[in-house]
Structure 1
Amino acid sequence: MGVLPRCALFLLLASAPVLAGPGSESRWGLRWSAPPGCIQAGPLARAVEARLGRTVFGPEPEFLVDGVLERGRPSGWKARLSLVDARGNVLGGREVSTAEEACSAIDPRLLLVIALMIDPSAALSGPAPELPPSPAPPELPAAEQPPPEPTGKRGERELTVAVSGTLGLGFAVAPGLAGTLWSGGPGDWTWLLRFALYPYAPYTKDGGHLTLVSPVAEAGVCPVSAESGDWRVSACGSAAFALVFAHSEGFQQSRSEALLRGDVGPRFRLERRLDGRRALHTGLGVSWGWLRPTVRLIKPDGTAEDPRLGLPVQVTLDVGVSFPGPWEG
């Protein structure tokens, strides 16, 4: 038995749980995202149908092959494929990769895996058809040729957006909402911007009551980042400023003021990809308050105290969903 039939047989056996639901007569759809210059959805769908010997993709599909092609780390290319039914349930997934620098090197493997997901018997019945060549960018005149980009393709960037619930520990545990953006590319450090709102943080001492509302803006850089399979972890250093609105009520008097608090410290990010476009996100930040003004706390007997704003060390925990995607710089 030759090398290609052996590989195809192995893929067929590994795909058994995924292929248990759909039948070969099912209606299929293809949702595919790839960078410019790589195979696009139309040519890929036609090549899969040529491999199977019939038309399989059409409107109102019963099953959808959802895929995305992106740069591998540290080099090569990686395609993530998910099999989704009409109700949106993910039935399984596959990952195809190549260490070659040209994205067209992954096309034959990609074609075989998608064909096996749809109909293994037809996919193995004959040799793979020739794929159309990937479109090449138009050449500029010699006088307008740009200087060559350094190795590592720093022009390719990835933007990740995370939406999460958050808990902050200052005077007390305060729930809130947070949104975070990461931007980075191969060979570059990742930059982060985080915005959070803690709408209610109470503090009571000796009968005096203090209410805090805090919008927070944070920026930082992540020099350490690692990825293994569907998991990604990053370690960052960041600085944050919080505009704190404080309201204190005491005996026959009250006081409201706006204060600025500054913090610096590490922030950690852990993600587990669900598919090519979504991931579970967890973020943990530990910061030291280098700028902590005093806040007026009015007590029931009419006296007042001026404690520092929040604890010297604050902890924030974000849990939510992130949406990664490649961007061209």
Structure 2
Amino acid sequence: MIIEKIAESRFNDSVFESKVFGKNFTDHMLVATYKDGKWSEPKIMPYGPLEFSPAAMAFHYGQAIFEGMKAYKNENEEVFIFRPDKNFERFNLSAKRLSMPEVPAEIFMDGIKTIVDLDRQWVPKNYGTSLYLRPTMFATEEAVSARSSHEYMFVILMAYAPSYYEKPLSVKIADFYSRSAQGGVGFAKCAGNYAASFFPTEEAQKEGYDQVIWTDSIEHKYIEEAGTMNVWVRIGDKLLTAPTSERILNGVTRDSLLNLAKDMGLDVEVRPIEVAEMYEAYKNGQLKEVFGCGTAVVVNSYNAIGFGEERAEIGILPDEESYAVRLKTALRNIQYGLIEDPYGWRIKIEESVTA
């Protein structure tokens, strides 16, 4: 791996005072290119603009994928990343679905560890904050031709991540727009999935909501995802989440919470959740909690849900009664190295002479 260090670091402690997610980028980025059927040697270099042709195929045909990961630091200055094997696996699953080349482990996994080590001063220690890692790949071949590109670029960039949301959110259940369809790319982390969600979200915001809870594209009968997150519903003392599918992203945070919830002895079911079931639970006072989870936000509760024209105010439970709070605290404590990690999820980034 080629490493070209920045001449003088741009880091200063004021970075950690920012409230803006994903705008304060670290000193370095990793770049590798794919051409003639093989990957180049990855290079870590100072973060900055890259040059592309306006005919780069990603701009025209949407071959662009990414992952979201985080690095954490404890009070002993130890730096950890969380379940990178799952992100690596999902990244290449997305690549395969979009007819893109898979990225080898020595580029993705070794690259993540090396660049996090190099920029470890950018990893904050404050509980709830982290360094966000964004591996991405996109088509770069200069051609306006509707086919798979023959050339790609893989990049890892990193940015300071304050707490993503600082308040409960309100969500509108989608009854017209769809996030994904059976046989589509809903399970992949590809750019187009997110672009297509922006307009319906803006429409919901005009009605006073923050986000959309997506439903199935055929009948709009079943709950699928919430905004850019997997969604959880607590009816009475039963915790429900939809099964993953071709339409629903297999979230790393979702999978982690499932393990934690079961080990806590919570009553958990992975099954389809009907909108009507959720509404009925609200009407009879049994809808206790609804929350989303994902890498960026970890866990975020919803205090209002739009069922058609009706806005259901469900409130927020006290911390000691909330499954969302219990799960979020347990997950964060593992991520920050505050408690033992019986699952082997936490990967320590060893400090090397490279840094």
Q: TM-score range by the shorter chain?
A: under 0.3
TM-score by length of 2: 0.24
Structure 1 or 2: larger strand share? Answer: 1
